[in-house]
A and B are shown apart, each in its own frame.
Chain A
């Protein structure tokens, strides 16, 4: 046996209860990649979040972003995070010219809430400023059809790679995944019990920048840094929700903790220019779209996501919708996504916002609000 097999059993894992009567599944991590001396998550800034807000960053009538304002927000955010005076100095703390950098974007909320072109373009501009050629920069997602719909190509320099692991979400393309790096779990008796990490992550990239959105999620409560990097870098993850139940509580954080994903994900930039407060992770209409007008910076995905839970829950409260923490069966209409889309007081799955706290217990970051230091910056 020439690879190390890490077995994480429920009894040995920190446990955040999903529900009193429900056992968490056994998850087995298989990887040959050792962790870095200082893994990217939580990185050098555990428990620290820079929240940059600008009233001018997005036009709420047209939903268009202002590229100049976004660029200024990016500069201020990165400098605040690192303590540097200029953006190039800040970016050089994370990247060197030899790096091959992946930008994990989110295209699932097309057309209204996806990783903003303006943010992605500015990230690439700064990476090139570090000396990384565009051919060493990859924008990636799991599904090519989603990437095609969002279409980053006109917004980024020629040579930047835009890639996906699968043609579409149809479970027929496995070649983009590493057969030797996976999490094995029998969640609902499915035959295929493996979720494999993308080959791009294991075999090509040296660093990853995570660029999620501020979104509600029917299974996890909210989807931000953790779920974007986890479910967006592994195959066969839809199996975690089934008939109203979800095993996302432990699965999201566990996926994010797998090497080399954990070590190589060195920067979190959460796009909160726009958001979706219900029926996420999709945003097929503007009905549930809102505008936090923020960008969050950090290296700790847990801390940012802990803030995200409150953002989504408070927005839902303001709209008169049930809390993401509500587990009552009376709001549950299993598999009825049409009812969910029509009524913000309908869940299709019992949500698991505890996945953020679970990830903290796995060492991915800080979930305790009392220990999270938020630095607000106004542009």
Chain B
């Protein structure tokens, strides 16, 4: 993959300030830039290769939630299962979509960039300028990650009826790290096929998406899942892989570093390594293989990291 193509795979910072702000962008290490059409020339003269984005271009993009946690005492508890705003389900449902993180509050830009990257989403970020440095570091980290264009790993299939209620079910599946594939009709390759409106999954159950996600989890069983995470309720994973390797993207929505995250992967795997934003390449200590699954510890996770593991023995 060429550098330009690789950079194009990164989310794009939408920057409305003039080219006189170029030094701050350069200091932050920002290379990929989207600017209002009328400012494109001045940014080219400043030495950038901006993507011109008009108001119309932005308007057709689907707006995303600022990723992170927020207090919802009616629906979640602070320490047991905090309320997480995440966009992964949108990306999985519509991988060809175009998205915009609108007016991200300070402190969310790096996670938003990582989230879009982890799902390979075409996303534009409108950030708080205070986040420039953090975003620059995250973008630099993403740009140097070893390439890994692997298909999604899924443990169950979901028939997409295009409905709104299914969207929230998908959100809760992502939230619980239940790895699914969107299909147009039940797929015999999967033991669990979720199709709303059927006898097994009545439409009324979509009204309680959390309960439905739990029902699906229990149908699948934890032992049959590809991945489990212990030590946090705010880390969401996307898993890609094939017969040669597995990549686990880990997004930490909690807003603070997590130490000692325990990763469980089905299958006996000989080792692996991680690349963690803010830390770099790290080993995965305390590896054990028990009951047909491999476990290891990720010593520290900031907003984002990837774990690459070899194939099953």
Residues of A within 8 A of B (CB): 1, 3, 5, 169-177, 179-180, 186, 189-194, 196, 235, 238-239, 242, 335
Residues of B within 8 A of A (CB): 73, 77, 79-81, 176-177, 210, 214, 217, 222, 228-233, 254, 256-262, 286, 288-291, 295, 297, 299
Contact residues in B for A180 (Cβ distance below 8 Å): 286, 288
In contact, B291 and A242 (Cβ under 8 angstroms): no
In contact, A190 and B80 (Cβ under 8 angstroms): yes
* Closest CB in chain B relative to A185 CB, distance in Å: 11
In contact, B222 and A172 (Cβ under 8 angstroms): no
Contact residues in A for B228 (Cβ distance below 8 Å): 191
Chain B residue with Cβ nearest A30? B290
Contact residues in B for A171 (Cβ distance below 8 Å): 79, 231-233
Contact residues in A for B259 (Cβ distance below 8 Å): 172-175
Contact residues in A for B214 (Cβ distance below 8 Å): 189
**Max chain B Cβ within 10 angstroms of own Cβ: one of A3, A171, A194, A238:** A171
* Closest CB in chain B relative to A21 CB, distance in Å: 18
In contact, B222 and A193 (Cβ under 8 angstroms): yes
* Closest CB in chain A relative to B233 CB, distance in Å: 6
Contact status of A190 and B233, CB under 8 A, knowing A169-B79, A175-B259, A177-B260: yes
Chain A residue with Cβ nearest B213? A189
* Closest CB in chain A relative to B236 CB, distance in Å: 10
Q: List 16 A-B contacts (CB under 8 A).
A: A1-B290, A3-B288, A3-B290, A172-B256, A172-B257, A173-B258, A174-B230, A175-B260, A180-B288, A189-B217, A191-B176, A191-B228, A191-B233, A192-B229, A193-B222, A238-B80
In contact, A179 and B233 (Cβ under 8 angstroms): no
CB < 8 Å: which of B81, B256, B295 contacts A190?
A: B81
* Closest CB in chain B relative to A239 CB, distance in Å: 5
State in angstroms the CA–CA spacing of A194 and B80 once bound together. 12
State in angstroms the CA–CA spacing of A172 and B232 once bound together. 7
**Max chain A Cβ within 10 angstroms of own Cβ: one of B254, B257, B259, B261:** B259
Contact status of A179 and B260, CB under 8 A, knowing A1-B290, A192-B231: yes
In contact, A191 and B299 (Cβ under 8 angstroms): no
Contact residues in B for A174 (Cβ distance below 8 Å): 230-232, 258-262
Chain B residue with Cβ nearest A194? B230
Contact status of A238 and B79, CB under 8 A, knowing A173-B259, A174-B258, A192-B229: yes
Contact residues in B for A192 (Cβ distance below 8 Å): 229-233
**Max chain A Cβ within 10 angstroms of own Cβ: one of B214, B222, B256, B262:** B262
* Closest CB in chain A relative to B190 CB, distance in Å: 21
State in angstroms the CA–CA spacing of A190 and B288 once bound together. 23
Contact residues in B for A175 (Cβ distance below 8 Å): 259-260, 299
State in angstroms the CA–CA spacing of A175 and B262 once bound together. 10
Inter-chain CB contacts under 8 Å: number:
76
* Closest CB in chain B relative to A51 CB, distance in Å: 36
State in angstroms the CA–CA spacing of A186 and B176 once bound together. 13
Contact status of A179 and B286, CB under 8 A, knowing A169-B79, A171-B232, A194-B230: yes
State in angstroms the CA–CA spacing of A180 and B79 once bound together. 23
Contact status of A191 and B288, CB under 8 A, knowing A174-B258, A174-B262, A175-B299: no
Contact residues in A for B232 (Cβ distance below 8 Å): 171-172, 174, 192
CB < 8 Å: which of A1, A235, A335 contacts B73?
A: A335
Contact status of A191 and B81, CB under 8 A, knowing A172-B232, A174-B231: yes
Contact status of A1 and B256, CB under 8 A, knowing A175-B299, A190-B80: no
State in angstroms the CA–CA spacing of A190 and B233 once bound together. 8
Contact residues in A for B81 (Cβ distance below 8 Å): 190-191
State in angstroms the CA–CA spacing of A172 and B7 once bound together. 32
Contact residues in A for B286 (Cβ distance below 8 Å): 179-180
State in angstroms the CA–CA spacing of A5 and B231 once bound together. 20
CB < 8 Å: which of A170, A179, A189 contacts B297?
A: A179
Contact residues in B for A5 (Cβ distance below 8 Å): 290-291
State in angstroms the CA–CA spacing of A235 and B286 once bound together. 18
State in angstroms the CA–CA spacing of A3 and B118 once bound together. 36
State in angstroms the CA–CA spacing of A235 and B259 once bound together. 13
State in angstroms the CA–CA spacing of A194 and B263 once bound together. 12
State in angstroms the CA–CA spacing of A194 and B210 once bound together. 20
Contact residues in A for B256 (Cβ distance below 8 Å): 170, 172
**Max chain B Cβ within 10 angstroms of own Cβ: one of A169, A192, A238:** A192
State in angstroms the CA–CA spacing of A242 and B79 once bound together. 11
Chain A residue with Cβ nearest B74? A335
State in angstroms the CA–CA spacing of A169 and B233 once bound together. 13
State in angstroms the CA–CA spacing of A196 and B259 once bound together. 14
Chain A residue with Cβ nearest B82? A171
Chain A residue with Cβ nearest B236? A191
In contact, A172 and B177 (Cβ under 8 angstroms): no
Contact residues in B for A242 (Cβ distance below 8 Å): 77, 80
Chain A residue with Cβ nearest B254? A172
State in angstroms the CA–CA spacing of A3 and B232 once bound together. 24
Chain A residue with Cβ nearest B285? A179
Contact status of A172 and B258, CB under 8 A, knowing A191-B176, A193-B222: yes
* Closest CB in chain B relative to A174 CB, distance in Å: 3
* Closest CB in chain A relative to B253 CB, distance in Å: 12
Chain B residue with Cβ nearest A169? B79
**Max chain B Cβ within 10 angstroms of own Cβ: one of A170, A172, A335:** A172
Contact residues in A for B210 (Cβ distance below 8 Å): 189
State in angstroms the CA–CA spacing of A173 and B257 once bound together. 8
Contact residues in A for B231 (Cβ distance below 8 Å): 171, 174, 192, 235
State in angstroms the CA–CA spacing of A92 and B271 once bound together. 47
State in angstroms the CA–CA spacing of A223 and B77 once bound together. 22
In contact, B77 and A173 (Cβ under 8 angstroms): no
State in angstroms the CA–CA spacing of A238 and B80 once bound together. 7
Q: A3-B288, A179-B297, A242-B77 are in contact. List 18 more A-B contacts (CB 8 A).
A: A1-B291, A5-B290, A170-B256, A171-B79, A171-B233, A172-B232, A173-B260, A174-B230, A177-B260, A179-B288, A179-B295, A180-B288, A186-B222, A190-B80, A190-B233, A191-B81, A235-B231, A238-B80
State in angstroms the CA–CA spacing of A169 and B61 once bound together. 39
